[in-house]
Structure 1
């Protein structure tokens, strides 16, 4: 069952659009119907009609008037009933056809219903995208592993250190994807405990960057650190390491070989925050894409029409880790290149 979109059906008459309350509209209809019934009855009796004829005729006219005009008031309720039945069958594209000038309780309910339908449609699309993306991301390393192991079992290739390293890389990719999915499930459930401790930001960033530099071997990226003095803050180092690892790894992924990625950290004493900027020189992110890149399973572009690869979860998890600490991650304008600005409170406030 599918409910027609806006404009696909004739709208019931609703002449009382000046009222912003359903009670006033119903009261007006009832008072008007009563007045019509009284006037009609008086008129018929005055001209000699029998009361046994005048009264039923008057009631029919009054009820017809009430029914005709009340249909316009309750039309969105009927549409919501039909739309709810369609949504129960999996069609989330249905909407309630609503007059934009209607501001009574039914109008407000219909607008809320349409907003809910849009959210459900978006969530359903995200679910479909997630299944498709996860299936693809799992199939690629599993297929590669299967092919390499089968070739070794058949004696086609030798278990050389290079081949074993290739297998290890695929298993690491699978492990990373599983870790991302576990983080995603925690993010969806809102379940994430924080182990708060005080630490030095400069030392923490050094420890975070070191394994990234090792993993980046062969691309000749130069990760430069600029920390403005000794900065101490409170937070969960494991969660924050996820945050900075994903942001810096994203910068390395979108930087040409042999280029520089700059990590700048400073303290904003006015607002009691620590601000870290991760900049990869040369590339820029269009303003229209800056909010979308933090959505789950949205992948960046390494070139025109070319996706960067990966899971499309890294930046989403980075934003989640920042929000757990009451902080933010956003892309800011910077003539030097793509600039991800992470703002975190220096001191953790327990809820």
Structure 2
């Protein structure tokens, strides 16, 4: 619209300028077209100009000069106003576009300074800045979880070390004070606590190596049915003592690619966990091929997993029921068994998950690459 107005004013100004020319040669020279039918309009204007007297011509020249100055003044004013409006609009638009970046930069500085619980407002527009802000908030939330997990880990390690150390100290001091004698039963209690400490340290080292990718693995093609039967054979007596039965179901000809000792350790941890928490009833150890994976399932017929346990089953030192965290011999678990199982499985390119069976009981599902 502004361009159309400017063209119309320019055309009118040039028509007036035709009358205002100071030299006759200007009247006779060519003019650029000013619109449709410009040649006829120019001819008529020339004819009218020739009929005017000198005084009228001078008057028209003055009018043309005034009109020219007004048009120029209006054009300059319009250009100035347009420039001001453009600057204001550009400033507002730039501020609106860079505001999320400014908040992100400020949030990063506050995060670097140690502030936690930080959340940035998410822009309403569905664009890259919104995605970046959502990713930043997710990163901060993940960082908070990691820091809380590390604090909890230190506290859990300290707690699990303190208990056997306290027992050892009490037993040794009692022997030193003559309250108890260093006989067979006393030494057996000390030995049990030393074994607990040793097992805890070994579990922590295994977990650290597996999660850090520094664990030494020797993958080979394993017969899945033979592996399951071999592992289950070592648990028959323990399951029977607990009033439980352990059955194995796996077809012939299914081979899995894994480290034998580490995969057996995973199965040991899953079955140990079942012994502690499942209660009496049947426990099924099943294996099969599914797509490109070998699937192993450990299913019990106990009470199943509550929502909190289901979400935290593989966390370090998490015990779903502290009252049932000891095995049949009264040995306390380290709380690292399922965490180690997941780390060992993932280190070999597999996956493990926990769920509840629709008919009741907990199910631990292990997926490993098939051989070949």
Task: Using structure 2 for the length normalisation, give the TM-score.
Answer: 0.68
1:275: Cα distance to partner?
3.3
C-alpha change, 1:61 and 1:337, in structure 2 (3 Å) is closer
Q: Is the 8 A contact 1:141 1:171 kept in 2?
A: yes
Q: Is the 8 A contact 1:200 1:232 kept in 2?
A: yes
| Aligned equivalent of 2:246 | 224
Where does the alignment leave 5 or more consecutive residues of structure 2 unmatched? Answer: 7-69, 327-331
Structure 1 residue matching 2:126: 3-state secondary structure: coil
Match of 2:305 among 260, 266, 285: 285
| Aligned equivalent of 2:260 | 237
Q: Is the 8 A contact 1:254 1:302 kept in 2?
A: no
Out of 333-342 and 56-65, give the one that drifted further.
56-65
Where does the alignment leave 5 or more consecutive residues of structure 1 unmatched? Answer: 1-34, 39-44
C-alpha change, 1:69 and 1:88, in structure 2 (3 Å) is same
- Could you list the per-position Cα deviations for residues 70-91 of structure 1 after superposition, in whole angstroms to 9, with x for gaps in the alignment? 2221111121122112211222
C-alpha change, 1:161 and 1:62, in structure 2 (3 Å) is same
Measure the CA separation in 1 of the matches of 2:239 and 2:174: 28
1:213: Cα distance to partner?
6.3
1:198: Cα distance to partner?
3.6
Measure the CA separation in 2 of the matches of 1:212 and 1:137: 27
1:334: Cα distance to partner?
4.5
1:301 equivalent in alignment to 2:321? yes
| Aligned equivalent of 2:147 | 124
| Aligned equivalent of 1:145 | 168
- Could you list the per-position Cα deviations for residues 175-201 of structure 1 after superposition, in whole angstroms to 9, with x for gaps in the alignment? 222122212222332333321234444
More helix by proportion, 1 or 2?
2
Q: Which aligned pairs between 1:55-134 and structure 2 lie closer than 5 A?
A: 62-100=86-124, 102-134=125-157
- Could you list the per-position Cα deviations for residues 26-52 of structure 1 after superposition, in whole angstroms to 9, with x for gaps in the alignment? xxxxxxxxx9xx9xxxxxx8695997x
C-alpha change, 1:199 and 1:158, in structure 2 (3 Å) is farther
Measure the CA separation in 2 of the matches of 1:46 and 1:307: 94
Measure the CA separation in 1 of the matches of 2:108 and 2:147: 15
Q: Is the 8 A contact 2:211 2:343 kept in 1?
A: no
C-alpha change, 1:54 and 1:103, in structure 2 (3 Å) is same
Measure the CA separation in 2 of the matches of 1:96 and 1:221: 55
Measure the CA separation in 1 of the matches of 2:71 and 2:141: 58
1:163 equivalent in alignment to 2:193? no
**What is the aligned length?**
300
Q: What value does the CA root-mean-square deviation take over the aligned residues?
A: 3.6
Structure 1 residue matching 2:247: 3-state secondary structure: strand
Task: Using structure 1 for the length normalisation, give the TM-score.
Answer: 0.71
Out of 228-237 and 146-155, give the one that drifted further.
228-237
